Amino acid sequence: MQFENILVEKKDNIAIVTINRPKVLNALSTKTFLELAEAFGALRDDASVAVVILTGAGERAFVAGADISEFSTFTPDDARNYGRLGWRTMLLIEKLGKPVIGAINGFALGGGLELAMSCTFRYAADNAKMGQPEVNLGLTPGFGGTQRLPRLVGKGRALEMLLTGKPIDATTAEKIGLVNKVVPQAELLAECEKTAKTIAAKAPIAIRYCIEAANSGLNMSLEEAFEFEAGVFGLAFSTEDFREGIKAFSEKREAKFKGK
């Protein structure tokens, strides 16, 4: 896949998507969103890809925010449509059916943090800074920040970040559960690839069901979520991967899953 603003690379069954606008700290333009949607749509349908890593080009930023240069001509309707493009692209990433690991290699601000939060989970470089500074521009987050951030770190911490606009460092982000792990910047991509390889060796259907159950259950009552989980648990019993997993367990060997 060839794009102007992003790069897509494959390493065996792992895909690495890099937002490639380092001169503007990988800012999210309309075209970048459209390319991300096209790339992730293709990766979703590519059976050879088990896990995706999403990162930014250069050493300074994952994504430093939306492309403010586009805002000067926006009407309120334009802004609303831009927000819809953003959150729909991020929802595609969140519901890809395959794990997407966010590799936060620097600034993740505004739309950049919103993009990172749409990933399945996040690892951060030790120099990373994260925040939702939209109030400094007289704006609110437009791509899901007011919704995903409270779900990840709790309402109080989320509102503190949203209302002050102050960024937090990687250590604080790990402490409050915004990122899973902090590593030296030079080791970030390798650490993400290591985890991606571990996940890629598991049963693809079971991985998809786990993601679907976790995402869906957040919008249900606990009893409804338990019932949903029981449903996918039952479906997993119908797969060839389940039979292979049980057989491999009894034979004391590594399972060879085929995603069937």
Which residues are annotated as catalytic?
A: 114, 134
How far is Cα 198 from Cα 216, in angstroms, rounded to an integer?
24
β-bridge partners, 55: 18
The conformation of residue 103, written as its DSSP 8-state character, comes to E
Place of tokens 């609110």: 140
Q: Quick check: helix, strand or coil at residue 9? A: strand
- Secondary structure element (H or E) that encloses residue 129, with its range: strand 129-131
Taking the alpha carbons at both ends of the chain, their separation in whole angstroms is 26
What phi, psi does 118 have (nearest 5°)?
A: -80, -10
DSSP β-ladder status, 100-104 and 51-56: parallel
Q: Quick check: helix, strand or coil at residue 107? A: strand
How far is Cα 119 from Cα 29, in angstroms, rounded to an integer?
19
